[in-house]
Structure 1
Amino acid sequence: MVEFNEHILNLYSSLESDLVKLIPQERFSKDVNMKLERISHLMEVLGNPHHSFPSIHVGGTSGKGSTSIFLASILTTQGYKTGLFLSPHLQIINEAYQINCKLAATTKLVEIFERVKSAIAKVAQENIFGQPSYFEAQVALAFCLFEEQKVDVAIIEVGLGGRLDATNILSSTIAVLTSVGLDHTEILGSTVEEIAEEKAGIIKAHQHVVCGFSKETTREIVAQRCEKSNSQLWQLEQDFSFTVHSGSLIINLPGKVYENLSLTKLIGEFQFSNAACATAAAYLFSQGNLSDVAVREGLADAIIPGRMEILQTQPVVILDGAHNPDKMRSASHSVHTLFGGKEKVVIVSFKKGKPVADILPYLIDNVKCFILTAFQVKGLWEPYPPEELKKAFNSIAPSVPCFIVDDPINAVQEGLSRAENNDLVWITGSLYLAGDAREHWYPSASLLMKAEE
């Protein structure tokens, strides 16, 4: 058993190393990363695996990961063989690649990536835009896995934006747009309307489109895009809706109502709209043959790590990867609603470039202290330096003590040591921090072994 465990860990390290080698010295450049020419070429070399399965493409500023997980859970419960691609992963790469809501084994990913690696080398030699990117390689691995597994449907989460995201080579049956807000403004645009245009870029001709946008100007952008592409549009609160009575969720679709629903393993009212969008998309994919049991059990069974996740009690520890003003507003509302009386120890790290001044006001209510840390660099993005973060915190909440603990695991331990049993420890600011912090409760090595079962 020890030898097998070491073998798996070595395989995983090799896969991770192969992917990281694709990250250039300048980790992310809009001019380099936001192109479809390389991924299109890569797909051609691999035999266009993305043409071998139907897909549902899920984009949006907030909620796209949760909606994708709900969708996979509902359709798996309905009896479909599902593939699920998520980004980013929290702890291990395997999280991004799921079959029937179970993490793909490292052995399988390494086997398939050998095929992808040779194709990457060929594209790097022949394409005028050079070597495929880190994310393009991940997308190719997902599409090859789903082809090999002969999935009935793949649920694909957009990486960044939509129009020029590597996943947008898909011609999906259904496109889902969960929400739109100000995030990645240096790449996608400085207004929600500009960002909505980028998000709506995943809409293709003759699709079903499910849209959860709330601002009228952004809804109109999606409606115009659907009209031009001759796609059928369902808008939340116009064509479908949800209500909540005494904690029970009701989802109203054209011609069908799903009642007595609950998100048993999740907290946060913001998940209700994600659940409604996922149910609408699943209903459309099944051509109206979606059972009440599939929706009820699919939503109840969905587990979404790093999104308002309760890791322990005494003290309560909440792990949430909120990383933009809209997400932090929603997370803060949920924390206040559920744990408003508790003093908080807040452990935080942000990606460099985030609008910290717009996010921090949602963190300062009833706080005992802040612990500022820096997530480990695992992919394209680097953390906001804790020293600079401390200056921002001191200007907004000068009376609240701030402590810098550079290592995220040490930051977790420091936070737990400073919290009383009736306090709340809130770990937030980045999905990358969520992944680092989660190691304290769920070591990656254990997750890798479980994926092999």
Structure 2
Amino acid sequence: MFTTYEEAVSWIHSRLRLGVKPGLKRMEWMMEKLDHPERRIKSIHIGGTNGKGSTVTYLRSILQEAGYVVGTFTSPYFEQFNERISLNGMPISDEEIVRLANDIYPLSLELEESEFGGPTEFEIITAMALQYFGRVNPVDIALFEVGLGGRFDSTNIILPILSIITSIGLDHTGILGETHTDIAFEKAGIIKPGVSIVTAVKQGDALQIIKNIAIEKKATMYSLGSQFLINEHVSRDTGEGFTQQTPFRKWENLEISMFGKHQTENASLSVMAIEILNKYYSFLIEDEHVYSGLKKAYWPGRFEVVSNTPLVIIDGAHNEEGIEALVSELEKRYPDNKKNIIFTALSDKKLDNMINKLDAIADKITFVEFNYPRAARAENLFDLSRNKNKQYNKNWAMTLEENIRTVKADEVLIVTGSLYFLSEVKPYISKYLEK
């Protein structure tokens, strides 16, 4: 058993060696042993390729404005591990992490000796979150972000009142399948019988897969572009503005503080979800809660300007769709600035396509690497690039400092790639700039 926070977190992270083990058998076994805390939680399940974290943030912010106590389970963390399990946007305490780890540790030992094998890191953290929101500190509602896929993801043990699928992209193809329809089938695994599904999936074939499963499960489906629409989108210096039409009403002049057209789509999912909660689940959420909640919502590492002088942006563009959104936003907001990019990613991504898109806009690109089991090597990333002004350096901290020091007035420094990388970079940049 653990007596310190460091011991508990070290044990949890040690489970990374088990990698990804799809399936719900270990989760079902642990929930049975814990007397099913997941059944005590009113929850919303959020899956998809991109936009999960932002959608969770918009929903949490609106619900908090309405006075609800909101739990969130997200990944990865940005500054401290505890962020994975948060209460009203605040990470739970070190002491609570120790308590939860001690609840799960004996079960992990038992599982090791069973036919199912020991739980993975993500399964342990998921079980901790369910125990926390179900028994230790019950909440009005909990928002659970899917880790990988959906059908066999450990979070799929929950019985939500609403499901959301943000988008579909070709990510984790080695596990989820090579096509949009393959991936849509896995993502649609979170749809439960009779539970409404809200989605922003655009690809026709992928959307049809989701629709077919929704019909099979008798789950009412609300699709962006069909049942609800975004109109009058305008980009501003402070974020984005848009109007939204739903089956129930029209929302004029909604505003968000996060940048990018894709963020209006994530926000529209949250507005549609809020209307369903109001209409069918007796939540009391007023118009002002929606407007102020959207405006206040903040999620780190999403086209985030961490410094204006020098101009430094961090963005967790960790797959091809994310890179496309980043490139589009850079071209729109900084058309005249030279673009200096620092990039790294996980080795299981479609790296050639991602790097090609960055090459097209980069005046200079530097590839780095970081300490993570699936991280790509800087030299391998460098070899994939066709940019004429490219270099690599294994030491990302040295690269970062050197580039921040030399940013010119007509340049923008963009640090992008893996969210796991950015979780190390952001606090480092903050401390460096304070100097």
Quote the residue 1:133 is aligned against. Answer: 120
> Is the aligned partner of 1:230 residue 2:218?
yes
SS at match of 2:371: coil
How much has 1:298 moved relative to structure 2? 0.9
Quote the residue 1:257 is aligned against. Answer: 250
How much has 1:356 moved relative to structure 2? 1.5
Q: Whole-Å Cα distance in 2 between the matches of residues 285 and 442 of structure 1? A: 38
Quote the residue 2:238 is aligned against. Answer: none
Change (3 A) 1:11 1:410: farther
Q: Mapping of 1:303-314 within 5 angstroms?
A: 303-314=298-309
SS at match of 1:262: strand
TM-score of the superposed pair, with normalisation by structure 1: 0.89
User: Which of the numbers 52, 60, 78 marks the counterpart of 1:72?
Assistant: 60
Q: Whole-Å Cα distance in 2 between the matches of residues 348 and 414 of structure 1? A: 15
Q: Mapping of 1:16-415 within 5 angstroms?
A: 16-24=9-17, 27-29=18-20, 33-125=21-113, 127-147=114-134, 148-247=136-235, 248-264=241-257, 266-287=258-279, 289-377=284-372, 381-393=373-385, 396-397=386-387, 399-402=388-391, 404-415=392-403
Across the two proteins, how many residue pairs are aligned to each other? Answer: 422
Unaligned runs of 5+ in 1: 1-9, 444-453
The answer as to whether partners of 1:158 and 1:165 remain within 8 angstroms in 2 is yes
How much has 1:38 moved relative to structure 2? 0.5
Compute the RMSD of aligned alpha carbons.
Answer: 1.9
The answer as to whether partners of 1:376 and 1:432 remain within 8 angstroms in 2 is no
Q: Whole-Å Cα distance in 2 between the matches of residues 342 and 35 of structure 1? A: 47
How much has 1:76 moved relative to structure 2? 1.4
How much has 1:240 moved relative to structure 2? 0.8
Q: Which piece of structure 1 moves more, 210-219 or 404-413?
A: 404-413
Q: Whole-Å Cα distance in 1 between the matches of residues 199 and 374 of structure 2? A: 31
> Is the aligned partner of 1:433 residue 2:433?
no
How much has 1:246 moved relative to structure 2? 4.4
How much has 1:194 moved relative to structure 2? 0.5
Q: Whole-Å Cα distance in 1 between the matches of residues 184 and 411 of structure 2? A: 39
Q: Whole-Å Cα distance in 2 between the matches of residues 102 and 91 of structure 1? A: 12
Counterpart of 1:386 in structure 2: which amino acid? A
The answer as to whether partners of 1:22 and 1:133 remain within 8 angstroms in 2 is yes
Q: Whole-Å Cα distance in 2 between the matches of residues 103 and 284 of structure 1? A: 28
Change (3 A) 1:352 1:406: same
Q: Whole-Å Cα distance in 1 between the matches of residues 39 and 242 of structure 2? A: 36
Q: Whole-Å Cα distance in 2 between the matches of residues 437 and 119 of structure 1? A: 35
Counterpart of 1:170 in structure 2: which amino acid? I
SS at match of 1:341: coil
How much has 1:436 moved relative to structure 2? 1.5
The answer as to whether partners of 1:76 and 1:101 remain within 8 angstroms in 2 is no
How much has 1:425 moved relative to structure 2? 0.6
Deviations along 1:176-235, one digit per CA (max 9) or x if unpaired, are: 000001000000000001000000000010101101111111111111111111111111
Q: Whole-Å Cα distance in 2 between the matches of residues 333 and 368 of structure 1? A: 16
Quote the residue 1:450 is aligned against. Answer: none
Identity %: 28
Q: Whole-Å Cα distance in 2 between the matches of residues 78 and 260 of structure 1? A: 20
SS at match of 1:286: helix
Counterpart of 2:254 in structure 1: which amino acid? L
Q: Whole-Å Cα distance in 2 between the matches of residues 159 and 35 of structure 1? A: 12
The answer as to whether partners of 1:258 and 1:295 remain within 8 angstroms in 2 is no
How much has 1:330 moved relative to structure 2? 0.7
How much has 1:366 moved relative to structure 2? 4.6
TM-score of the superposed pair, with normalisation by structure 2: 0.93
Counterpart of 2:323 in structure 1: which amino acid? M
How much has 1:257 moved relative to structure 2? 2.2
Q: Whole-Å Cα distance in 1 between the matches of residues 344 and 429 of structure 2? A: 19
How much has 1:242 moved relative to structure 2? 1.5
Deviations along 1:124-150, one digit per CA (max 9) or x if unpaired, are: 23x312111110001011111112211
How much has 1:245 moved relative to structure 2? 4.6
Deviations along 1:88-126, one digit per CA (max 9) or x if unpaired, are: 22332111111112221222222222112222222323x
Q: Which piece of structure 1 moves more, 269-278 or 10-19?
A: 10-19
SS at match of 1:84: strand
Q: Whole-Å Cα distance in 1 between the matches of residues 361 and 42 of structure 2? A: 48
Q: Whole-Å Cα distance in 2 between the matches of residues 169 and 224 of structure 1? A: 22
Quote the residue 1:4 is aligned against. Answer: none
